Every structure is written in structure tokens, then in C-alpha cells.
Amino acid sequence: QVQLVESGGGLVQAGGSLRLSCAASGGTFRSYTMAWFRQAPGKEREFVAAINQSGGLTWHADSVKGRFTISRDNAKSTVFLQMNSLKPEDTAVYYCAADPMYPLGATSPMHYWGKGTLLTVSS
């Protein structure tokens, strides 16, 4: 079973950038599709971006496409989310997730979850 710990959240001004990290342990990292989800206050958790096991394929929600980029370092068992041109509507708790059998292009919830890291974007 894999454990996931997110870091890098904080307060940033609109238009700024931030990079989230998620460190995995307790499992074979390279066997998992990894993803980021987010949950804004009063809203349901939503898909943000995912990356396949090798890192060769990524897919992003339309709301973040062109601004956010997911990547992974299998040697360090870490997945990243680079966020640029941040908007106040990006304010949310960001969750790292992992799944050993996740269809390419899927946006449904995954099997394993971190506890989340809060991003607040001020206007």
C-alpha cells in the first residue's frame, strides 16, 4: 500500500506560480498512475491532472490546461504539479492520488489518497 504526502501549498497572488510535490512511499511508485485532484470550499473534489506510470502520457482538466503541468520523477518517487498564471478560482485543497490500474484519460477518483495541501490564491 502506498502512502502519499503532499507539500508546497501556500498563499500566492493571482498571476503567480507555485509547484506542488507529492512524495510516495510504501509501494512500487513506478507501477502507479499518479494524479492531482482538488476540492474548493463548498464544492466537490475534481480532477486536475494525471500522468501514466512512465511519465510519457499526461492529461489535464480543461480548466487548467496550458497553465498547470504534471510531471514525475520515478527515481525519487515524487510527482509534481507546476502551476502558473494562478487564479483565485484555483484556491482549493490539492490532493495527490495513485492508482495501479487507472485507464488512460480517466478522471474518476483513484484508489490511494494523500491528506492534501492548501493553496490560496489572492486577487
Q: Residue 1: what pLDDT? A: 86
DSSP 6-75: EE--EEEETT--EEEEEEEESS-GGGSEEEEEEE-TTS--EEEEEE-TTSS-EEE-TTTTTTEEEEEETT
What letter represents residue 30's amino acid?
Answer: R
Q: What average pLDDT does the structure give for the chain?
A: 97
pLDDT tens profile 43-63: 999 999 999 999 999 999 999
pLDDT tens profile 59-103: 999 999 999 999 999 999 999 999 999 999 999 999 999 999 999
